[in-house]
Amino acid sequence: MDYQKTYTYPSTLNQTTSDTPAPAPYTPQQTIPQYAPSQPYPTPPTPLQPTQPQIVPQPVPPINFQEQSYIENILRLNKGKVGTFYFTYTDSSEWRDRVYKGVIEAAGRDHLIISDPKTGKRYLFQMIYFDWAEFDEEIQYQYPYR
């Protein structure tokens, strides 16, 4: 469809009829009246100075903060201890279930680093595959108060 041929604009838009007077053209001498208040705006009063002495905040005594017992926090508390760590890799038929024994080097929200005490080799594991851990000694469970 050809829009230029279909739609044509009437040629009478630019013409004025004799019934309607043509508007006067704008001349630069015309100005818009400026409105100014007859009285100046009042200024707000200045605030008064307080007559009471300033209150100095007292130091807050420390709260007995206890870390929540997420797995990564418990593993972090037991850094340096030897443990046996069980992992399940659900997407792999070859690596379905794996067991690693080593020393906890570090633990984060999504990872665990253990080292093999015999070779010194370090391993980084994703916590998403972690199942559980076993320790041959007592484990630390609560954070000591600071």
Separation of alpha carbons 43 and 79, rounded Å: 67
Residue 83's identity, in one-letter code, is G
Q: Which CATH class name applies to 82-135?
A: mainly beta
Bigger pLDDT: 34 vs 128: 128
* Whole-number pLDDT of residue 3: 46
Supply the pTM of this predicted model.
0.53
Q: Report domain extents, the chain.
A: 82-135
Average pLDDT score, the chain: 78
pLDDT tens sequence across 66-94: 556 789 999 999 999 999 999 999 988 88
Which secondary structure element, helix H or strand E, spans residue 6, and what is its range? helix 3-6
pLDDT tens sequence across 87-123: 999 988 888 999 999 999 999 999 999 999 999 999 9
